[in-house]
Copies of this chain bind each other. A is one copy, B any other.
Amino acid sequence: MIQLTRRTILTGAAAATTIAAVRQPAHAAAPPTGKQAPGFYRYKLGEYEITVVTDGVNRFKLPDNFVTNVKREDVNAALAAAYLEPDMMAVPYSPIVVNTGSRLIVIDTGTGEANFAQSKGAAGQFQANLAAAGIDAKAVDTVIISHYHGDHVNGLLRADNTLAFPNAEILVPAVEHKFWMDDGEMSRAPAGRMEGLFKNNRRVFSGEVVKRLKTYDAGKEIAPGITAIATYGHTPGHSSHVIASGERKLYVQADVTNVPFLFARNPGWHLVFDQDAKMAEETRRKVYDMVAAEKMLIQGFHYPFPAVGHIEKDGNGYRVISVPWNPVI
């Protein structure tokens, strides 16, 4: 009774006589919309409401040194294992908004509104998607920054350089802020990317942003139920955050890994943007061992949207088991 063979499946589309061929559509063609759904996703964590708000995805040709300690062919093999195109990278950005019931808190801010035009709409979507999610940027009380890379801090400013969250205090890791504001460190920075980061951070962390700045230390509760964790390596003061509400805990990992299909699967791989790659790897292994053992929910800034799941050990690495999408909250 089963007529299923590989031949019928693969050649069927070319069948000569079809019922469709003799039928006209009832209507003029509906134009393809070309538009994606609004890029946000909501879930409850205890009493808190978390909204993941995508800033988009940047796509670029895989640079030779994107993973510094393995060959291009190894990276391509990992991309193939994830059913992704070879020699291309697609890096998503997933800031989150935490509504504690009394406070509205943003963690990391995306690549910045100005990047929307530069990336031809691929990224810089955070403000537009926040609005789509019904979140008023003026109502945000607190912005927490994990570390001083452009895709995390540039969204502090609108395209016109005004404050993106005009009524919010801005909480930054003390160690991180000290490093990037240190003139000695800046003077020793290699030309190119590192020099550019120093310059960008001094552009962003000036004027109105600085007036609202408060530094935080690792190990402290920096907002209700939100504790900063020192996860140094990616940058000198790179920090993650654990959000606790009721019986639930969420590990907001920032850049402990970049895209998980490369760096969770292969925790020993070193991302070109890891400032201290050895320390970043140690941090990665510790965090992932802990999150897997505790079966904690994890939110990854560079995970594919909605960027939330659990971690399981798999061979020498880890695998993200995404949380099933919930069409209600």
Contact = CB atoms under 8 A, between A and B. Distances in A.
Interface of A: 1-4, 6, 8-10, 12-15, 17-21, 23, 25-27, 29-30, 32-42, 49, 51, 54, 56-57, 82-84, 90, 92, 99, 101-104, 121-122, 125, 132-136, 139, 141-142, 167-169, 171, 214, 216, 218-233, 242, 244, 249, 251, 279, 282-283, 286-287, 290, 294-295, 304-306, 309-310, 321-329
Contact of A229 (B12, B132, B168, B242): B12
A327 B92 contact: yes
A321 B18 contact: no
Contacts of A328: 36, 56-57, 121-122
Given A42-B35, A49-B33, A219 B3 contact: yes
Contact of A9 (B125, B225, B242): B242
Nearest to A223: B20
25 contacts: A2-B283, A2-B286, A8-B218, A8-B219, A8-B229, A8-B230, A10-B294, A13-B227, A15-B220, A15-B221, A17-B220, A25-B102, A25-B103, A25-B141, A25-B142, A29-B102, A30-B135, A32-B99, A33-B42, A33-B134, A35-B42, A37-B133, A38-B38, A304-B322, A306-B325
Contacts of A6: 290, 294
A148 to B, nearest CB: 17
Nearest to A245: B13
Contacts of A227: 9, 12-13, 15
Contact of A305 (B90, B219, B325): B325
A324 B92 contact: yes
A278 B83 CA distance: 31
A221 B23 CA distance: 12
Contacts of A214: 19
B304 A324 contact: yes
Nearest to A13: B244
